[in-house]
Structure 1
């Protein structure tokens, strides 16, 4: 379970203040798969970082009773001066996983070849996403956070990613951000719309996508 209680998030940049969320209250139950819709800049990635614990709320409380991945595709989860392999070993130690087994999985899944042993700061965005995806799937999380990463890589890698995510969906929660309603419908049952500092949940992806589309049309 992940519970937000009176959660607000505000960024202070010099003399500028931006409030992204105000007084969020919701609960995500174990085993739920939720697709999140929202315009660019609405706060989708901020929400994912809050859910994953990468960022803390300005006010309010976030309670987690299931272990949660970092947002897949979030490049800041790696140390750029270390190699992909060294990052994978470090994460294995953090999560008390066998280092060699985790590294073998990442090497096979991400298919980075010799780049796995090069500094992450030399990676392209797609390579970083593949590494993040591979390391995340090497650990049996109870909740996976996915941020527009299934499009990374060639067709073969995308197919493997889709298959792996569908398998994880049957055994864990998935919270996904995507601008593609088809992707959200493929992986998720419930939907949510981020708009105006709030998060509204719906029973289906179709409902959430329809509401998001109406809000987008109103913005023009």
Structure 2
């Protein structure tokens, strides 16, 4: 067992309307498998990813993680805007029990933002913020990486570096990935999960999940 959902209930209230994302769902993501998450726009895939990461809590139910799970890859929302890039990296390294100097050296080299590492991240461009967040994601060792759409960060050379670094992690880590690109899912995942009408449909064969998704998306 890698991540277990036990009767998870998650809803939002917007302008008096209740949107149920997960309706008392139970499911287990098993260690040694990588999962592609599919669903039509607005189904709640990103909410599911935040729940798996622990950056958002369910209204009811329990999520158990038996391995070290990442935040959504490249997610910059957890960085404190008034802290510098350096301070953010050191803070996260300490939380995860990593060597602060080693982590900082890796991120500085990888993100390639130069002296901006000592500037509050609220002044960063979106590209700089993504580079810092991706570098930090790669600097911490996780057993399971969460990926909410693969976004192109930086120029072609930097994207190639990201791909190379991520491929190293895949050798010993599992993945839970959201993507609308079926070829990307086939490249990274062997199992599929379809989120529809507050329910999760688990498929041991990714192709079966893709077939259901296409049927829902007609």
Q: What is the TM-score normalised by the length of structure 1?
A: 0.91
Q: Mark the runs of 5 or more structure 1 residues left unpaired by the alignment.
A: none
Q: Does the 8 Å contact 1:30/1:172 carry over to 2?
A: no
Q: Cα offset for 1:118?
A: 2.2
> How far apart are residue 48 of structure 1 and its match?
0.6
For 2:211 and 2:145, the matched residues in 1 are separated by: 25
Contact 1:166–1:187 at 8 Å: present in 2 too?
no
Q: Which residue of 2 is the match for residue 162 of structure 1?
A: 163
Secondary structure of the structure 1 residue equivalent to 2:73: coil
Structure 2 residue aligned with 1:63: 64
Does 2:17 match 1:27?
A: no
CA offsets, 1:172-203, max 9 Å, x none? 11111112112212221112112211121222
| Structure 2: 5+ residue stretches without partners | none
State the TM-score, normalizing by the size of structure 2.
0.92
Over the residues paired in the alignment, what is the CA RMSD in angstroms? 1.7
Q: 1:49 & 1:74 partners in 2: Cα distance? A: 10
Q: Is the 8 A contact 2:50 2:56 kept in 1?
A: yes
Shift of 1:117: 2.4
Per the TM alignment, residue 80 of structure 1 is displaced from its structure 2 partner at its CA by: 0.8
Q: What is the number of residues matched between the two proteins?
A: 217
* Within-5 A mapping of 1:134-213: 134-213=135-214
Paired position in structure 2 for 1:50: 51
CA distance in 1, matches of 2:127, 2:175: 21
SS at structure 2 position matched to 1:131: helix
Kindly state the Cα deviation for residue 77 of structure 1 after the two structures are TM-superposed. Answer: 0.8
1:130 corresponds in structure 2 to: 131
